[in-house]
Amino acid sequence: MVETVWKATSKPSPLCTFLLLIILCILGFYSLHYPHSTVINPNAQNALRFRHIFLSSASNYTIASYLRILTLHPHLAGTAPSLAIVNYVVAQFKSLHLQTHTTQYKTLLSYPTHSSLSAHFTNGTVHDLSLSDSSDDVAVVRPYHAYSPSGTAFAKAVFVNYGRDVDFQAIKELNVSVKGCIVIARRGDLPRGIVVQKAEENGAVAVLIYTEGEEVKGFERGTVMSGVGDPLSPGWAAVDDGESLELEDARVLKRFPKIPSMPLSVRAAQLILNSLGGAPPPEKWRVDLRGVGPGPTILNFTYQGEKKVGTIHNVFAIIRGSEEPDRYVLLGNHRDAWTYGAVDPNSGTAALLDIARRYALMMRLGWQPRRTIILCSWDAEEFGMIGSTEWVEQNLVNLGSKAVAYLNVDCAVQGPGFFVGATPQLDSLLLEVKDPDSEGSTVYEKWAATNAGTNIQRLSGVDSDFAPFVQHAGVPSIDIYYGRDFPVYHTAFDSYEWMTNNGDPLFHRHVAVAGIWGLVALHLADDSILPFNYLSYAEQLQRYKVFLSNLLGEDKAKVSLHPLTTSIQELVSAAKEAEDEAKILRQQETTGDSVVLKNRALNDRLILAERGFLDVDGLQGRQWFKHLIYGPPGDHESKLDFFPGIADAISQSARMSRKESQAAIQHEIWRVSRAIQRAARALKGELT
The catalytic site residues sit at: 381
Helix (H) or strand (E) holding 101: strand 99-120
Distance CA 199, CA 570 (A): 45
Q: Which SS3 state, helix, strand or coil, does residue 560 take? A: coil
Q: Can you list the positions of beta strands (E) in 214-297?
A: 222-223, 261-264
Residue 497: C-alpha distances to residues 1, 84, 493 (Å): 10, 21, 8
Distance CA 146, CA 112 (A): 8
b/e 547-584 (16+ beta carbons within 10 angstroms → b) = ebeeebeeeeeebebebbeebbebbbebbebbeebbee
List the beta bridge partners of residue 374: 318, 330
Residue closest to 314 by CA, chosen among 334, 297, 295, 331: 334
Distance CA 510, CA 293 (A): 46
Distance CA 28, CA 325 (A): 28
Distance CA 371, CA 362 (A): 15
CB 211 within 8 A of CB 266: yes
Distance CA 608, CA 403 (A): 9
Residue closest to 39 by CA, chosen among 586, 513, 524: 586
CB 569 within 8 A of CB 562: no
Q: Can you list the positions of beta strands (E) in 121-243?
A: 126-128, 145-146, 151-159, 182-186, 206-210, 222-223
Residue 498: C-alpha distances to residues 142, 491, 559 (Å): 20, 11, 53
List the beta bridge partners of residue 264: 210
Alpha helices in 527-592 (DSSP H): 534-552, 562-586
Q: Which SS3 state, helix, strand or coil, does residue 54 take? A: helix
Residue closest to 429 by CA, chosen among 582, 588, 569, 648: 582
Residue 362: C-alpha distances to residues 96, 352, 366, 679 (Å): 11, 15, 6, 36
Distance CA 668, CA 81 (A): 47
Q: Is 369 exposed, middle or buried (0-12, 13-18, 19+ CB in 10 A)?
A: buried
Distance CA 364, CA 133 (A): 46
Q: Is 309 exposed, middle or buried (0-12, 13-18, 19+ CB in 10 A)?
A: middle
Distance CA 230, CA 238 (A): 7
Residue closest to 383 by CA, chosen among 174, 141, 681: 141
Distance CA 99, CA 103 (A): 14
Helices and strands (H, E) in the chain, number of each type: 23, 14
CB 528 within 8 A of CB 599: yes
